[in-house]
Amino acid sequence: MIWKSLDDFIAMGGYGFYVWGSYLVTAALIGAEILMLRARRRAVEKVRQVQIILSEQTKHETPS
Amino acid sequence: MKLNWFKYASPVTFYPLAGKLIPWFALAAAILTVAGLYLSFFVAPTDFQQGESYRIIFIHVPAAWMSMFIYIVMAGWAAAGLIFNTRLSSMMASALAPTGALFTFIALWTGALWGKPTWGAWWVWDARLTSELILLFLYMGFLALHAAIDDPRRADRASAVLALVGVVNVPIIYFSVKWWNTLHQGASVSMTMAPKMAATMLLGMLVMALACWMYSIAAALARVRCIILEREQQAEWIANLGEPI
C-alpha cells in the first residue's frame, strides 16, 4: 500500500494542491459537459413536443 | 451478408443507432475510469524523481492525446462533409468540437499544475505548450465561426475549411518536442520505442486514455443526436419518432 492514511493520501507527498487541483477541475469540467448535454437534450425535446402538438392541431383544422 | 456502409450515413438511420450505442460507451467509460483511477492512485508507484506530482500525467497525457485525436477525427468528418456534401458528416464534426476543446483545456490546465512544482512555472512559451494553445484557439474558432453563420450548411462549409487548415497544427504539436529544444519533455510513449516508465504507470495511463476515448464517443454521439433534432426539426421522421426518444 502506497498510502499510510487518508491524510497521507490527500497530502500527495506535499503535491496535494497540484494533484487534486488537476483531478477535481477535470471532473468538474466533464460533469459540466454532461449536464450541458442533458440540458440541450431537454430543450430540443421540449421544442419537438410543442411542434408535434401544433402539427396535430393544424391537421384537425384543415378542412377536408 | 452484404454490409451497406451508407445505411448509417443518413441522420434518419443514424439517430436511433447512436441512441442505442450511447449507454454502452458511457458504461465502458465509467468502468474504465474507476479502473484507471485505481491504477493511478493505488497501484502505480511513487515516481523517484517527481514524487507524487507525477500522478497528474494520468489525466494530462490522455487529455493531450484526445485533444489531437479528436481534432483529426473532427477535421476528417468536416472534410467528408465538404467533399461528399453529406450533412451527417458535418454534424459529427460540430458534435466533436466542444469535447475536443474540453480535452485541450484539460491538457493545458493539468500541464500548468504539473509545470509549477516541476519546472517552477505555470506557463512557458515553449513550442509544445504554444502549439497546444493554438489548438484550443482552433477549436474555439471552429465553434465561433459555425455559430456566426446562420445558414447551417454554409456554416458547415466555412468551418470545415478552417478545421482543415488547422490540421497542420497537429503534427506540429506532436513533433514539437523533437523539432525544437523545448522545456517540455519528449514523448514517454511512442510507437517505435519501448516506453520509458514503469509498467503499472503505463497501464494506468493507457486505461485512462481508453476511458477518455469511450467518454468522448458517448459525448459526441449524445451531442450529434441533439444537433440532428435541432437541425431537422421540420422533417417528418422526427415527428414520427413519437413520445419517448
Q: pLDDT by residue for chain B (245 residues), tens digit each? A: 555 666 777 888 889 899 999 999 999 999 999 999 999 999 888 887 788 888 999 999 999 999 999 999 999 999 999 999 888 999 999 999 999 999 999 999 999 999 999 888 899 898 899 999 999 999 999 999 999 999 999 999 999 999 999 999 999 999 888 888 777 877 776 656 666 677 888 999 999 999 999 999 999 999 999 999 998 877 777 777 765 55
Rounded to two decimals, the pTM is 0.91
Q: Residue B240 has which C-alpha cell?
A: 414520427
Q: Is A8 on the interface with B (CB under 8 A)?
A: no
Chains A, B: CB contacts under 8 A, how many? 83
Cα–Cα distance between A37 and A26 in angstroms, integer?
17
Q: Which residues from A are below 8 Å from B98, CB to CB?
A: 33
* Of residues A19, A37, A48, nearest to B238 (C-beta): A48
Q: Name the DSSP class of B51.
A: B
Q: What is the DSSP string of B209-239?
A: HHHHHHHHHHHHHHHHHHHHHHHTTT-HHHH
Cβ within 8 Å, pair A33-B116: no
- Angstrom distances, CA of residue B199 to CA of A45, B49, B189: 47, 17, 11
Cβ within 8 Å, pair A19-B225: no
Length of chain A as a residue count: 64
What tens digit of pLDDT does each residue of A18-55 get? 999 999 999 999 999 999 999 999 999 888 888 878 87
Q: Residue B161 has which C-alpha cell?
A: 475549411
* Of residues B45, B116, B230, nearest to A18 (C-beta): B116
Cβ within 8 Å, pair A1-B42: yes
* Contacts of the segment B127-130: beta carbons below 8 A, 24+ positions apart: B127/B172, B127/B176, B127/B177, B127/B179, B127/B180, B127/B182, B127/B184, B128/B173, B128/B176, B128/B177, B128/B182, B128/B184, B129/B184
Q: Is B123 on the interface with A (CB under 8 A)?
A: no
Contact B128, B177 (CB under 8 A): yes
Say whether B47 sits in a helix, a strand or coil.
strand
| Of the candidates B62, B108, B81, the residue with the CA atom closest to the CA atom of residue B216 | B62
Length of chain B as a residue count: 245
Q: Is A50 on the interface with B (CB under 8 A)?
A: no
- Is pLDDT of A58 > 70? yes
Residue with cell 494506468: B204
Cα–Cα distance between A14 and B36 in angstroms, integer?
23
Q: Is A56 on the interface with B (CB under 8 A)?
A: no
Q: Is B121 on the interface with A (CB under 8 A)?
A: no
Contact A38, A46 (CB under 8 A): no
Q: Is A48 on the interface with B (CB under 8 A)?
A: yes
